[in-house]
Amino acid sequence: MENCIFCKIINGELPSATVYEDENTLAFRDINPAAPIHVLVIPKQHIISLDDINTENKKTAANCLAAIPEIAKNLGLVGGYRVITNIGKDGGQVVPHLHFHLLGGKKFKEKIV
């Protein structure tokens, strides 16, 4: 997708600190980390958000989600971690390419839910 920064990261037009890659999924460090470890886990296919999951792309999204435990293990997050996805304007989504924030490296005190 043209002008999508995450698609540009996927195709190598923009640099990123990659921590995991398979044929379906890419994970790289967030440029503005909100925790000691903050990684964005994204499908290589351009899907705008969870709101745009359909019968054609749901396997891609599921594979992306399913990669998270291995990524967390590789990052040494043995004590647990947090996964967040923002959806749309009211959800606080800034980049319109589905991404899961994988946050860890500290014990979170603050809770939204």
Catalytic residues: 99
Q: Where on the chain is the footprint of ligand 5GP (CB under 6 A)?
A: 5, 14, 16, 28-32, 40, 86, 92-95
What is the residue whose two structure tokens read 């398979």? 22
Among positions 15-54, residues that touch Zn ion (CB under 5 A) are 46
Q: Is-contact 11 80, C-beta < 8 A?
A: no
4 binds, among ligand 5GP, Zn ion, none (CB under 5 to 8 A by kind): Zn ion
94 binds, among Zn ion, ligand 5GP, none (CB under 5 to 8 A by kind): ligand 5GP
Strands 82-84, 100-104: parallel, antiparallel or unpaired by DSSP?
antiparallel
Distance CA 106, CA 4 (A): 31
Give the N- to C-terminal CA distance of the chain in Å, as an integer: 34
Residues in contact with Zn ion by the rule CB under 5 A? 1, 4, 6-7, 46, 97
